[in-house]
Amino acid sequence: MKLFALSLVASASAWTTVNTGLRMPTFRTNSMQLDALKPGEKVTLIGVAADSGCGKSTFMRRLTNIFGGESVGPLGGGFDGGGWETNTLVSDQTTVICLDDFHLNDRAGRKVTKLTALNPLENDFDTMYDQLKQLKEGKTISKPIYNHVNGTLDTPETIEPTPIVIVEGLHPMYDERVRDLLDFSLYLDISDEVKFAWKIQRDMEERGHSLESIQASIEARKPDFDAYIAPQKEFSDLTIQVLPTELQKDDTKTLRVRMIQKEGIPDFNPVYLFDEGSTIDWTPCGKKLSCSIPGIKFKYGADTFYGNDVSVVEMDGAFDNLQELVYVESHLSNTATKFYGELTQQMLKLADAPGSDNGTGFFQTLASFKIRELYEKKAARTKADAKQAVAQ
């Protein structure tokens, strides 16, 4: 994922790793400043886990759009002469940090170790924990950068805390210390069948890769993914699960998407359809929600997921006309929207983004509203506590 920066910043020392293990310091500066945490504000830390190519960048776009806020210009640098890049996206409300930046070795180093980036041994969890802890405490950090273009570890960048800090990548819930720092966690769970279809579309149709090379790439990553990434679903407060459709046999394009919401999470009340606690199987009225074959269907009910009680809202199929989504929105409760039609409005704003006509965009947007609500509840409580302390 390449989320180009919008940052803050002062000079910082950096490290460049070479095959010998020698690290050489370099420096960079930037005069751009950003108003970060205000006095008394606390950081809300959100973790988003997923495999590469599973829609994290699109989700981050939806999430940061809902929080709004003014953003600042790019953090200098660029790609000229093999220059550095940044994976961090920052506005005055949100900071999105890519956990790839905490890879222990560069691409050349992993060729020596013969380990994939999915392996925990290739990730510096000590630094990850220390820096996220500092951010949550309202402190500024000098965060490393992993350059996805040339596979090097580049000059660190200075990151100041903002009210919402989102960490996304392969391992946000793997390390218990990091997991305990999170105020809320999500997992984007793409089934093997869907992941394979998406990878074929991206790598075969857009990049010219052969079917054999795509299959080999998936199979090479699968053991480490199953061992180290997938088990994090157990710790996720909300999981968006993407599966093949059940509406039509052998349909590889239509998606069935489930929003799996853990019960009992502080400041989080699961979204429900029609009647909370009921079991619902709903095919919307065709006159109010037009959709092509194979149609569209929603479900809602209680379930268990990795031993946890959950509420699940499911959508199978795709929208033909996003403006009609307001009909579905009117039957949902606990959406955390601020006004009638806000969910539909937000979907229309990003109508051209991947998944906007199906359950991936629909539930990513709902999840974003729930995160906004969670943050606002925490912020209001902090403000009330501060007011009470002054009164005493």
**Structural domain that includes position 302:** 237-338+357-376
Q: Is residue 52 part of a domain?
A: yes
Q: Both 166 and 248 in a single domain? A: no
The CA radius of gyration of the chain, in Å to the nearest whole number, is 21
* Beta-carbon contacts of residue 271 (< 8 Å; ≥ 6 apart): 259, 261, 311, 313, 332, 333, 334, 335, 366, 370
My answer on whether 115 and 264 are in the same domain is no
Q: How far is CA 258 from CA 35, 231, 243, 275, in A?
A: 38, 18, 8, 18
- On whether both 247 and 179 belong to a single domain, the answer is no
In a domain, 79, yes or no: yes
Asked if residue 166 is part of any domain, the answer here is: yes
Q: 139 with 281, same domain?
A: no
With respect to residue 388, please indicate whether it lies within any of the assigned structural domains: no
The CA-atom distances, in angstroms, between 386 and each of 45, 135, 377, 381 are 20, 20, 14, 9
Q: How far apart are the first and last CA of the chain?
A: 48
Q: Are residues 38 and 181 in the same domain?
A: yes
**pLDDT tens-digit map of 210-234:** 778 878 878 888 999 999 999 999 9
Decide which of 186, 218, 251 is a domain's last residue. Answer: 186
Q: Same domain, yes or no, for 180 and 255? A: no
Helix (H, G, I), strand (E, B) or coil at 98: strand
Residues in CB range of 239: below 8 A, 6 or more apart: 186, 187, 188, 189, 233, 258, 259, 260, 305
Q: How far is CA 321 from the centre of its chain?
A: 26
150 with 61, same domain: the answer is yes
pLDDT at position 163: 93
Does 321 fall in a domain? yes
Asked if 92 contacts 69 with a C-beta cutoff of 8 angstroms, the reply is yes
Examine residue 216 and state whether it is found in any structural domain, yes or no. Answer: no
Give a yes or no: residue 140 inside a domain: yes
Q: % helix / strand / coil in the chain, to the nearest 5?
A: 35, 25, 40
Check whether residue 64 and residue 168 sit in a common domain: yes
- pTM: predicted TM-score of the whole model, two decimal places: 0.85
Specify the number of domains making up the chain: 2
Q: Give the three-state DSSP class for 92.
A: coil
The CATH code of the domain that includes 67 is 3.40.50.300
Helix, coil or strand: residue 282? strand
> Residues 182, 244: one domain?
no
pLDDT, one tens digit per residue, over 266-314 is: 999 999 999 999 999 999 877 788 777 788 999 999 999 999 999 999 9
Res 97: pLDDT: 93
Strands (E), 212-290: 238-244, 255-262, 272-273, 280-282
pLDDT at position 202 is: 67
Cα–Cα distance, 183 to 202 (Å, whole number): 34
The CA-CA-CA angle for residues 64, 70, 71, to 5°, reads 75
Same domain, 126 and 66: yes
351 within domain boundaries: no
Q: Would you say the C-alpha torsion 120, 124, 127, 128 has a positive or negative sign?
A: negative
pLDDT of residue 89: 81
Residues 252 and 124 in one domain: no
Are 25 and 155 members of one domain?
Answer: yes
The low-confidence residues of the chain, meaning pLDDT below 50, are 1-33, 72-83
